[in-house]
Structure 1
């Protein structure tokens, strides 16, 4: 599909948008440059910088493969655990309101910009922004650095999934009970003071240190899993999109099969209705908290993969004329639907878990009441518990027993962030399900496919820009292998006893402020520096004019967002994020040896790494700008780029626009037909 379009483009065949122009009526030389630009798309500033070598770029097998690749990239682990965690934290369904608003004003408009510029210029992030202007090359470098940093820790999470998957092929599951102590006289105290799943996660899997100051040495089982995960990524990407594109047929579709199976099973479990009701019962008072809107905005960015460079890289393998607006809507809406769909699954299982915990709590209270009042067994049940407590409490004797307060909604509101939701809370629900090993295997296979699909796009955001920079003598498979090898070696940091604390630093800060800064400069470069009118011409050439009422609504919606709403929203969120970090104490939750969690402040070197993660991806933007400015002033270099063309070589561009205007509104309409 892509190959045929590329050949047609190179050969200069008839304009695929359907325009039929009789040049004789305009009394112009049929071989003028402007006529060729009308025919092959080079009438736009952006189109003039698409070279024949760019057109001959590798391509997706078909459009479905591209859509599945983008969906696999966008739909990742964050859809399964971060979105449900945020919904659980911010009053259930109330979080959907700021999330959907941020999707409309930030997510979809920015996603379309990245798809459009990647498809039009057929370059990775660095090549794309260099073509706009060498001053803007730092935007692409920043995107590449963010992708590299996120890939470092993201593949460690995939390594954890491999570990849990391998441990799921046994019955009973190793995290379903506490292990015996060395004397076999009882259970390990640390496990009894916490829970089965917490102990297996913190002690058996991570063997976590008591603080970030205690390195704890490398854990050999985690090292093996990390090497396995990076090897798997390299093998799947060894031939670029030709190999990873095939794998994405599986990674994009398998999670939906598993989620559907879990949803059917989850909804049949007791307590599932309480979990789902909690998800869709909004507490609107939380909308007054600025943090809700901040988390909604960052969730949109991380979930869609905005500003990572992966979207631009994937779009660069598209045919020159493909409806990128339709693709942006399909991918963004599918991603958001998946977040809500997976939340249904998660909350149905969490409802079952809360039901089991609530029953255990009631069992303890019922036993205490029965013993104290010498009641026969079965006299107090779950159904009549509240009535019996009220009846027995006439003399205030029940108050003296200090019964545990049992409430299923209270249990549901106990949020577990990120990895804790998947490896601690959800696994606790799995062990209470009949046939638990089967469900455990299915769940971690799903997490693997989600994680790998996102990793392919993340690494593509590093490999494609480097290839577009023209690295000589290194084949793409070797370059991909070198990136995976270096990342694996650096990622060994996460396999030590304090590795989980370092991973949380990368997770919290590598993909936060840098993404907002990069996205802000992307939208300013396209909508304000390049110009919305010029960008509109490129979109018209790629997707044609709107042909329906909905098409015109989308037309104005995107342009209003690009020029006004999205930049302002990004700037507000960015300022709020910086203020939040500057005004709060940067601390982390440490697992203490007695099974408790304690909040500790980061040491000076932890803070140094945090500031480096915030600065490294953003520094290239001003540094490259300054470097290119110095080169221009000292060496008197003339830049040949889109924005440079627009600023100082505008006469040719004005003549092009004059011709384009004549083509749309000719003197003799009966001799000129334009089918738009």
Structure 2
């Protein structure tokens, strides 16, 4: 069968290496560096690894194969790809996934802005004693280095808005010429991430007590494996870790030729992502055990409070401490930047496909609400001086949006993808398309994984998460802080998020498509779908 080349107006990867680096760079982000270590600690170290490893093969790789195949089969981004394969309801799911991804991008880039501010602070006062912040617990100067005080002082200033603007500018530069500039960027940033992380591993293991942390990380607690929350946490972490349900993997795969080996590509990207997480876990656990630090909390507390506090104790030499601070926060920025680029590209490529507009205009349409949202999450107005919650208005909004958008949207999209492609299109057609060009053939069991097993797992995770939210003490998330100044924001925020994402998805679904996805002559899977449309 002849292999049509991708649409020249959309661009194409110059090499398979460029695609693998871009896709793995999308998957590797802030969560891989610190969130994995936090989850592993929370769920008993080694007890987390077996469920996590099973989640990789039962859910992670199969859904990645699914998303790569959708991209290469259609040569289009996720809304038009799902629309071609499953009709208007599929296109709506695609647009809803991108609307949710845009929401996540807004506050994700705000986090990167904070990381950039901490990077600059590493050259200055971050690792020096005497920090204060305009909050009641931090009014007195700290006796020693205190990264938490420094962080809260930083977010209460206008400096993060400048840092956020810089991150958006860098993202735009990397996306300006599509795959050409993305590939140039990831060829530098992704290898740098590995070099920097391996450097942290080596340093952590050479510190007294560093190997104890690694031993804890890899020693399984069989009692913990029987805990259902360990399995739920492992499957949720795997889904988030591989950037599934965001539309990014479909967009990146759409720039590949039709004869791409999607099984091989999925294995490479998944193993690179998980390999990075494993060595990141070694580095972080070594630091935690050397300095007896508690990694309780999520990505932010570990990134901005716990690990910098550990870096401050690396040496009595201030220059060495600052060097490692720069080292760590530069790693966070470049890891997050490769993920941010893919998130923005997902929506930009979809607008190009749907509206037939130029890349520059598509980027402008994405960045206008994106920049506004990111700046909103960085607003320094103090609404909680006692720090019962998050302190500033921007940080409070970030916390509330993250709780709802991140916890629910990715898994919901993954569930709907499997149901639409498994039952409406037919999982056997997906498998036939994959096996046509793959060295490793998918077995017939793959069909039932897509149709039943993975939807059942994702449904269980969603129901469990919703149950936790409904039954938690204090009611709707945010009210337990007891901060009068934020009023009814805990109720308003999830409503606004749903209204924005559903409304945007419905509007774009009903818009006339400028050009339909290219038909691949002789492709039985697309021909069968076209007869149903």
Q: Provide TM-score, normalisation by structure 2.
A: 0.86
Q: Counterpart in 2 of 1:116? A: 69
How far does residue 599 in structure 1 lie from its aligned partner after superposition? 7.1
| Cα pair distance change 1:316/1:141, threshold 3 Å | same
Is 1:131 the counterpart of 2:84? The answer is: yes
How far does residue 492 in structure 1 lie from its aligned partner after superposition? 1.8
Is 1:569 the counterpart of 2:425? The answer is: no
Out of 452, 459, 475, the position equivalent to 2:344 is 459
How far does residue 65 in structure 1 lie from its aligned partner after superposition? 0.3
CA deviations 1:131-189 (Å, max 9, x no partner) are 1222321011112102211110010111111111112124xx4343124899xxxx975
What does 1:143-222 align with in structure 2 at a 5 Å threshold? Answer: 143-170=97-124, 173-179=125-131, 190-192=140-142, 196-202=146-152, 204-207=153-156, 219-222=157-160
Q: Is the CA contact (8 Å cut-off) linking 1:135 and 1:624 kept in structure 2?
A: no
How far does residue 565 in structure 1 lie from its aligned partner after superposition? 1.5
Q: Work out the CA distance in 1 between the residues paired with 2:407 and 2:22.
A: 24
| Cα pair distance change 1:191/1:84, threshold 3 Å | farther
Q: Work out the CA distance in 2 between the residues paired with 1:575 and 1:267.
A: 40
CA deviations 1:375-429 (Å, max 9, x no partner) are xxxxxxxxxxxxxxxxxxxxxxxxxxxxxxxxxxxx55x5132111011110011
Out of 492, 505, 508, the position equivalent to 1:608 is 492
How far does residue 623 in structure 1 lie from its aligned partner after superposition? 9.2
CA deviations 1:315-363 (Å, max 9, x no partner) are 0000111111100011112111211110100011111211xxxxxxxxx
How far does residue 197 in structure 1 lie from its aligned partner after superposition? 1.7
| Cα pair distance change 1:570/1:200, threshold 3 Å | same
Is 1:102 the counterpart of 2:55? The answer is: yes
Residues paired across the two proteins, number: 502
Q: Counterpart in 1 of 2:15? A: 62
Structure with max Cα Rg:
1
Is 1:349 the counterpart of 2:282? The answer is: no
For 1:318, what is the secondary structure of its paired residue?
Answer: coil
Q: Is the CA contact (8 Å cut-off) linking 2:71 and 2:251 kept in structure 1?
A: yes
How far does residue 124 in structure 1 lie from its aligned partner after superposition? 0.5
Range that drifts further, 266-275 or 418-427: 266-275
What does 1:334-345 align with in structure 2 at a 5 Å threshold? Answer: 334-345=272-283
Q: Is the CA contact (8 Å cut-off) linking 2:47 and 2:224 kept in structure 1?
A: yes
Q: Counterpart in 1 of 2:333? A: 448
Q: Counterpart in 2 of 1:74? A: 27
| Cα pair distance change 1:85/1:482, threshold 3 Å | same
Q: Work out the CA distance in 1 between the residues paired with 2:281 and 2:359.
A: 38
CA deviations 1:419-452 (Å, max 9, x no partner) are 1101111001111113101111111111111000
Q: Is the CA contact (8 Å cut-off) linking 2:6 and 2:256 kept in structure 1?
A: no
| Cα pair distance change 1:85/1:615, threshold 3 Å | farther
Q: Counterpart in 2 of 1:396? A: none
Out of 270, 273, 282, the position equivalent to 2:208 is 270
Q: Is the CA contact (8 Å cut-off) linking 1:138 and 1:623 kept in structure 2?
A: no
Q: Counterpart in 2 of 1:529? A: 424
Q: Work out the CA distance in 1 between the residues paired with 2:57 and 2:504.
A: 29
> What's the RMSD between the two structures over aligned residues?
3.2
CA deviations 1:215-239 (Å, max 9, x no partner) are xxxx321111111111111112111
Q: Work out the CA distance in 1 between the residues paired with 2:364 and 2:526.
A: 37
Q: Is the CA contact (8 Å cut-off) linking 1:267 and 1:273 kept in structure 2?
A: yes
Q: Work out the CA distance in 2 between the residues paired with 1:87 and 1:180.
A: 32
For 1:415, what is the secondary structure of its paired residue?
Answer: coil
Range that drifts further, 81-90 or 187-196: 187-196
Q: Counterpart in 2 of 1:15? A: none
Q: Counterpart in 2 of 1:401? A: none
Q: Provide TM-score, normalisation by structure 1.
A: 0.68
Q: Work out the CA distance in 1 between the residues paired with 2:63 and 2:527.
A: 25
Q: Counterpart in 2 of 1:251? A: 189
| Cα pair distance change 1:417/1:143, threshold 3 Å | same
Q: Work out the CA distance in 1 between the residues paired with 2:417 and 2:128.
A: 49
Q: Work out the CA distance in 2 between the residues paired with 1:589 and 1:341.
A: 38
For 1:555, what is the secondary structure of its paired residue?
Answer: coil
| Cα pair distance change 1:188/1:67, threshold 3 Å | closer
| Cα pair distance change 1:134/1:193, threshold 3 Å | same
Q: Is the CA contact (8 Å cut-off) linking 1:99 and 1:297 kept in structure 2?
A: yes
Q: Counterpart in 2 of 1:481? A: 364
Unaligned regions of 5+ residues in structure 1, if any? 1-38, 42-49, 208-218, 355-410, 591-597, 632-639, 654-676
